[in-house]
């Protein structure tokens, strides 16, 4: 197994510099205007009350996902002293996500360097950092970035174990995989694929990986006893298999990498100044549209790490195929993005020259163009509309909501109001339950 991972480049001081510069630029871009939108966006309506409960020493009210990501958000809020109000909790939780996203970016560089060499490492890291979805997830208090980053750390641990022929790194990888699944169940796909690769090529090391991962996952629920642990798993399984109401941004599984209906995590208008603003969870089209072809290409390469990356990315997408879920959103493809970035970077590095420069320029120009819509900066209507020319009505918030209402037969303002009152996530209800629990305490 070591043979196909023969060292292409020797790690030098400049590699540390490249990695730190790329991560630093990413962090600075994430930090800009982090408090611009202080209200909860999208699933923060569930995670932020959970963080408040944990900071108050109460059980989390959000139990649809395992606890590690919410513990990370609570730690970030506590370290920044933001537990006194909702704006502070939001800011502290988002800062924690930025740190986690930065760690994932550094892990991407390490994986790329150790398996493909310096050029691919730099390209893959730039691609991941310039992906709009990775960027938004890294500055939003949601569980997704935790699962992806811990999966990347687990992959890096396995690469180091094989590279150095040191089984101790397998234990580190197992801990990372356990934390990944203890953040979000969908991260299990990457863990299973990477663990399966280890089983095939280093079967003697596999039991240590499994024990470390399972032990970490169980301890994540501490101080739950075995019965409570089993009940927690059962409840999460019920939550993730129950029928859900339609969503304006629902999309079929095969369209996920096509970005036909990206989700608006938040949208607002400033009528007085004729401006709009919002958090648009959209992937970089130059990455997402090439992701599946690149992953398929990777599967057929002789380079084993690329093959594994191809299987990882395709599995993370195909798990959402018909029958797997009845409630799909574009960001469910997020778990496949790191593997896609590695595969695309390998393709672009082989092309080299003008093709590589032109492609990376397109990626970076897209990121600069859509940056205001990723961070919630107010913009004029012409500026907003110019950025939606690629997606037209499918990407425009108002058009998407209007089409959704038509699909449901909501043809009067009263019908729309009644539907939203019945089905909208109740952040206020979460706050009320937390406050009541604190008073009883």
Structure tokens at 322: 């018909």
pLDDT recorded at residue 396: 56
pLDDT at residue 383 is higher than 80: no
> pTM for the complete prediction?
0.88
Structure tokens at 219: 């301890």
In this prediction, residues 266-273 reach a mean pLDDT of: 78
Please count the other Cβ atoms lying within 10 Å of the Cβ belonging to residue 209: 28
- Give the Cα separation of 116 and 113 in Å (integer): 6
pLDDT at residue 250 is higher than 80: no
Residue at token pair 């897209």: 366
In this prediction, residues 272-285 reach a mean pLDDT of: 85
Percent of the chain surpassing pLDDT 90: 47
Over residues 366-381, the pLDDT tens digits come to: 999 899 889 988 888 7
C-beta of residue 329 within 8 angstroms of C-beta of residue 249: yes
Over residues 133-161, the pLDDT tens digits come to: 999 999 998 999 999 999 999 999 999 99
Nearest to 158 by CA among 149, 145, 168: 168
Please count the other Cβ atoms lying within 10 Å of the Cβ belonging to residue 216: 21
In this prediction, residues 322-335 reach a mean pLDDT of: 77
Give residue 429's pLDDT band: very low, low, confident or very high (50, 70, 90): very low
Residue at token pair 């970089």: 284
Query: How high does pLDDT run on average in the chain?
Result: 83
Residue at token pair 């599967």: 299
User: Which residues touch 177 (CB under 8 Å, ≥6 apart)?
Assistant: 150, 151, 154, 191, 194, 195, 209, 212, 213, 216
pLDDT recorded at residue 156: 96
């Amino acid at each position: 197994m070591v043979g196909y991972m023969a060292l292409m480049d020797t790690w030098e001081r400049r590699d540390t510099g490249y990695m730190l510069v790329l991560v630093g630029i990413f962090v600075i871009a994430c930090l800009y205007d982090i408090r611009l939108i202080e209200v909860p966006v999208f699933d923060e309506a569930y995670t932020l009350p959970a963080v408040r409960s944990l900071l108050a020493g109460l059980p989390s009210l959000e139990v649809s996902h395992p606890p590690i990501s919410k513990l990370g958000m609570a730690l970030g809020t506590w370290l920044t002293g933001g537990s006194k109000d909702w704006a502070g909790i939001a800011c502290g939780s988002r800062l924690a996500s930025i740190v986690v996203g930065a760690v994932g970016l550094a892990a991407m560089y390490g994986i790329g360097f150790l398996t493909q060499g310096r050029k691919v490492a730099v390209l893959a890291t730039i691609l991941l950092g310039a992906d709009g979805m990775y960027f938004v997830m890294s500055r939003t208090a949601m569980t997704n970035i935790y699962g992806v980053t811990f999966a990347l750390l687990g992959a890096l641990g396995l690469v180091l174990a094989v590279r150095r022929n040191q089984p101790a790194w397998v234990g580190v990888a197992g801990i990372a995989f356990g934390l990944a699944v203890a953040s979000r169940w969908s991260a299990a796909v990457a863990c299973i694929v990477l663990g399966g690769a280890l089983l095939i090529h280093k079967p003697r090391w596999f039991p240590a990986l499994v024990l470390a991962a399972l032990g970490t996952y169980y301890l994540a629920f501490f101080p739950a006893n075995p019965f409570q642990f089993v009940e927690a798993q059962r409840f999460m399984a019920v939550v993730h298999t129950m029928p859900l109401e339609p969503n304006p941004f629902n999309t079929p599984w095969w369209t996920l990498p096509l970005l036909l209906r990206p989700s608006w995590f938040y949208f607002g208008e400033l009528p007085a100044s004729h401006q709009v603003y919002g958090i648009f969870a959209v992937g970089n089209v130059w990455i997402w549209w090439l992701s599946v072809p690149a992953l398929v290409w990777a599967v057929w390469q002789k380079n084993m790490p690329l093959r594994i990356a191809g299987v990882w990315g395709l599995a993370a997408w195909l798990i959402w195929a018909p029958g797997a879920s009845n409630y799909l959103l574009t960001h469910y493809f997020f778990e496949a993005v790191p593997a896609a970035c590695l595969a695309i970077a390998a393709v672009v590095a082989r092309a080299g020259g003008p093709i590589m420069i032109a492609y990376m320029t397109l990626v970076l120009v897209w990121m600069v163009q859509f940056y205001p819509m990723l961070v919630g900066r107010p913009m004029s209507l012409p500026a907003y509309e110019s950025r939606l020319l690629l997606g037209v009505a499918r990407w425009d918030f108002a058009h998407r909501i209007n089409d959704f209402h038509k699909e449901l037969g909501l043809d009067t303002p009263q019908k729309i109001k009644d539907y939203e009152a019945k089905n909208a996530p109740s952040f206020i209800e979460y706050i009320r339950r937390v406050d009541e629990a604190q008073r009883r305490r």
